[in-house]
Amino acid sequence: MTTTQLSSQPACATAPSAAQVEASCRLPVLFLAFSGAAWLCFGAVLALLASVQLYTPAFMEGCPWVTYGRLRPAAVNALAYGFALQTSFALALWLIARLGRVELSAPLGLTIAAKFWNVAVTVGVFGILAGDATGFDLLEFPLYAALPLFASYACLAAWALVTLHQRTERELYVSLWFVVAALLWFPWILSTAQGLLLGWRPTGVVQAIVAGWFGQNLLQLVLTGSALAVLFYFVPKTVNRPLANPGLARAGFWLLLLIGGWGGLAQLAAVPAWIPAVSGAANFLVIVPVLALLTCLWQTAEGKIAEAWKENATFRFLLVAAILLLGVTLRTAFLGGTSTQFTFFAAARTDIVLLGVFGLAALGALHHIVPRLTTGDDELPSAGLADLAFWAALLGVLGVGIGFSLAGFTQAGVNANATKDFLKDGTVVIAGNLKLVTAGYAALTVAALAFLANFGLAVRRCCANCCGGAR
């Protein structure tokens, strides 16, 4: 990826310097990264409040705006659209500019589009709290938020693709494959799902099928794909080796694209039996590309993992994200069928992918990108805060994932056995597990705050460098 091969096209003969590339990225990428982290903090707080209500129903009782049925979708959608997708745009723009050796086109326009995205997410979250949720998982924003969301995404993606077209480094590195796939894929799934579920409204369970298809593609291809783009950029960079086995990466990429979009409906009830069957098979098959891609990364980093773990904050995040990716893939393949249907086990997949696989990879990448774009260093100003962000995020994801999974196993046992008392054996006893979930969301809030504080320190130092501490 670091080859300096230049394009034969005369217009692109002069590649901008790294400093010029970073200068063009500064405004939009920092804005997206900051807003993303702020939404992570806000979404985690909402999820925390919602999880408390699961075992203390009297908590915040009496106001429809903060009832569990509204808080939980507001939290998930704030995390998905405010944090995950927004951060994935920051990463995509930065990767395109860096790997394509090109200045971002229209940085100001990108920033304005990003602002509109944030406005739309804010409106959407408040719309859910006000009772206008659509009722479809991961697509709860009402129409008046969904349309601006799509419009601002269209601007972001269009400028990103224009930038990609203008790249001076013609060879597309693996990371950019995932970025391009996600950029093209997301508008299609979003417009299909919004058009069908908020506009045309097909009859009956087709709605649930479309919503499930959208959620799967969002989690498996757009967000996991973005996480893989980050992994493929930073792992070779950190261990300072070229990517081992690019052929395997290519095969893994195409297989993931072909198979990844088919899962996600394995637990749908009341639909023709072929749909869960096909989805369940896809959940198994997707192990192959995930293993191929992770093997490729493993071969690249082999022997240097312990060293990189000690030295590099970004690498720690990425290693855990890679392990979680393997874990969540196997988990969905082997336990994602009817046995865990209708339990928190299945619901936890969204949290693990949003916050664990993507969230940790993105936070790790931002721990490299933010200092590059502010102070020009390779690390954020405070190593202590970076450590705190890592450990808090790790514990947070583990708390949420393990808490929900254990609760899910208990629920699955009750679901399968009618002699067990639904209320006593299935709802009361999981309170302990759900407290672990609450603690997990609290830890994630701490992680987001630690990162934001570090971000602030970096910006302050940057301002001090430029303006002599005028601010």
Partner 1 sequence: MRYGPILGAGAMFSLACSWAALVMAPQLQLGSLAPAALPNSTEIYPPARPGLAAQGAEVYRSLGCAQCHTRAVRQTQALYGVRLNELGAPANLVPGGADGKPLNLDLLLALAAVRHVLAIAPVPMPAALAGDTNIAPKFGLFETNRAILLRNDLKSGITRPTSGPTVNELAAKLPATILEKVSVEEGERGVKFLSEAGAKAELTFYNFGPDLDRGWGARRTVAQDYVNDSPVLLGSVRVGPDLAGIGTRAPEKFAAPWKFAGTNTAIELEHRLLVHVYNPRLLAKDSTCPSAKYLFTTNKPAIRPIHATDEPLPFVFPKHEARALVAYLLTLRADVGVADAPVPAAPKAAAAAAPKAPAKP
Site for partner 1 in 118-147 (CB under 8 A): 131-137
Nearer to partner 1, 164 or 293 (CB): 164
User: What single-letter amino acid sits at 190?
Assistant: L
Using CB under 8 A, pick the residue from 47, 48, 54, 394 that binds partner 1: 54
Query: How many CA atoms lie within 13 Å of 217's alpha carbon, on the beta-carbon side?
Result: 24
3 state DSSP class of 336: coil
Contacts (Cβ under 8 Å, ≥6 apart) of 244: 296, 299, 300
Question: Do you know the residue count of the chain?
Answer: 471
- Is residue 67 near partner 1 by the rule CB under 8 A? yes
* Distance separating alpha carbons of residues 124 and 122, to the nearest angstrom: 5
Nearest to 320 by CA among 366, 266, 356: 356
Nearer to partner 1, 71 or 386 (CB): 71
Minimum distance between the CB of residue 219 and partner 1, rounded to whole angstroms? 13
Nearer to partner 1, 197 or 320 (CB): 197
| Residues 379-438 contacting partner 1, CB under 8 A | 411, 415-418, 422-424, 426-428
- Is residue 232 near partner 1 by the rule CB under 8 A? no
For residue 186 the two structure tokens come to 């997301």
Nearer to partner 1, 19 or 58 (CB): 58
Mask of contacts with partner 1, 345-374, x by CB under 8 A? -xx---------------------------
Stretch that binds partner 1, among 34-42, 48-56, 295-303, 458-466 (CB under 8 A): 48-56
Nearer to partner 1, 69 or 327 (CB): 69
Mask of contacts with partner 1, 149-178, x by CB under 8 A? ---------------xx----xxx----x-
CA 37 to chain centre: 12
Q: Are 246 and 174 in contact (CB under 8 A)?
A: yes
Stretch that binds partner 1, among 35-43, 51-59, 383-391, 461-469 (CB under 8 A): 51-59
Nearest to 407 by CA among 392, 429, 382, 388: 429
- Is residue 247 near partner 1 by the rule CB under 8 A? no
| Residues 265-284 contacting partner 1, CB under 8 A | 265, 267-272, 275, 278-279
Minimum distance between the CB of residue 183 and partner 1, rounded to whole angstroms? 9
Please give, one letter per residue, the 3-state secondary structure of 222-285: HHHHHHHHHHHHHHHHHHCCCCCCHHHHHHHHHHHHHHHCCCCCCCCCCCCCHHHHHHHHHHHH
